[in-house]
Amino acid sequence: MTVHLHWFLPTGGDGRTLVDRHAFSQGALQRTPGGAVAGVRPPDLDYLIQIAKAAEQLGFEAVLTPTGTWCEDAWLTTVALAQHTQRLKFLVAFRPGVISPVLAAQMASTYQRLTRGRLLLNVVTGGDSAEQRRYGDHLDHDRRYARTDEFLSVVRGVWGGTPYDFAGEHYAIDGGFTALPPDPLPQIFFGGSSAAAGPVAARHTDVYLTWGEPPEQVKEKIDWIRALAEQEGRTVRFGIRLHTISRDSAHDAWSTANRLLDDLTPETVAAAQAALGRSESVGQQRMLALHGGSREGLEISPNLWAGVGLVRGGAGTALVGSHAEVADRIEEYHALGIEHFVLSGYPHLEEAYWFGEGVIPDLAARGLLPPDTPVTRGAPLLAAGGR
């Protein structure tokens, strides 16, 4: 089992700070209280192309594109970026409650043909009822997962290439099919920490994603999902979502983490924690519990820093350290059964290079990467020859 590395496309914007996507809405770039946020980059196509090209060159297999109110549409953005890359895959996040499963299956099929098989799917059930209602979705948390269960049954059914009927609580499909099924079938990534999420992952997921918790907690999740999948007669692979701050020395890495922390005012942290505390997501509550809203004791496990989660929803932890230390932690998670690492950092362009030129060669030397992974190594320095 080798390590599959993926990067992140910041389609909600990016910057040299742990800025929240909300800063990019309603002209907030120009009207931020206390002054404009420094070093902020809007998610225009030219910048996203830079990140995608860098990820491809550095050896990442795919890039995750988020979904939600505060970012660009993932389907449209990534199909545009596919025209500027050759090998890079796109892990497209989408919400099953706002689209027909038959249409989603058809879109995935078309996407595979347009990109020659470069689509991966990240199914996001949603843990914030307020945001779900913006899209006209009024189901509660557990019923959203029940609907996702039906949704994925229909998607896989209509990919069979023959008319498919389905009768459930949320969907009634008569003769649904895709005239040209996708080839290959996109892998389905899915995450969820609640009791309602586990059975859905066991029945439908190719790769179960967890946010970056300490290794012992990640092992508990792996054991939980693996046991549920075995009851379904299936095998599930596992992935983890983390940020990274990797540098030539541990001192430099932690200095960067501390600088990001110093940029956050107490008011900013308090407001973010209040908003995140209202989330219905069990995974989000687990992220918040790692730091409790405090700036103290943020290294919750060796090289695992919870500072990002003080202001950012979703993935709230980062691997921080020297390139070798970050590689050590990846190897540790890999030993537990983690195969896919979905990574990111602020800013995403620069951090892709820090990781790609520092950690990826180390992982390759350890024999953890697929043999066809491009590895970018430093060029030799050329001494002046007296001329």
DSSP string, 7-25: EE--TT-EESS---GGGGS
- Tens of each residue's pLDDT in the chain, 387 residues: 899 999 999 999 898 888 655 444 444 444 444 455 567 788 999 999 999 999 999 999 999 999 988 899 999 999 999 999 999 999 999 999 889 999 999 999 999 999 999 999 999 998 777 888 888 888 999 999 999 999 999 999 999 989 999 999 999 999 999 999 999 999 999 999 999 999 999 999 999 999 999 999 999 999 999 999 999 999 999 999 999 999 999 999 999 999 999 988 888 888 888 888 888 888 889 989 989 888 999 999 999 999 999 988 889 999 999 999 999 999 999 999 999 999 999 999 999 999 999 999 999 999 999 988 888 765 444 444 433
Q: Give me the pLDDT at residue 385, please.
A: 41
310 residue type, one letter: L
Q: What pLDDT, on a 0 to 100 scale, did the predictor assign at position 372?
A: 84
The four Cα atoms 279, 280, 285, 286 give a dihedral, to 10 degrees, of -140
Given this model, what pLDDT does residue 69 score? 86
71-110 burial string, b = 16+ CB within 10 Å, else e?
Answer: bbebbebbbebbeebeebbbbbbbbbbeeebbebbbbbbb
Give 3-state DSSP helix, strand, coil % of the chain, rounded to 5.
40, 20, 40
Q: Which residues contact 337 (CB under 8 A, 6 or more apart)?
A: 1, 219, 222, 226, 238
CA end-to-end distance (rounded Å), the chain: 51
For 17, half-sphere exposure in the C-beta direction (CA atoms, 13 angstrom radius) is 17
pLDDT number for residue 293? 87
- DSSP strand E in the chain: where? 4-8, 14-15, 40-41, 62-65, 89-94, 119-123, 164-167, 172-176, 188-191, 207-211, 237-247, 299-301, 304-305, 318-322, 338-344
- How does strand 299-301 pair with strand 304-305? antiparallel
Query: In angstroms, rounded to a whole number, what is the distance separating the alpha carbons of residues 295 and 1?
Result: 37
User: In angstroms, how far is CA 99 from the centroid of its own chain?
Assistant: 21
pLDDT at position 386, please? 38
Q: What's the rounded Cα separation, in Å, for the pair 336 and 131?
A: 34
pLDDT of 31: 41
| Residue 58 pLDDT | 97
| CA-closest candidate to residue 147, choices 170, 174, 121, 123 | 170
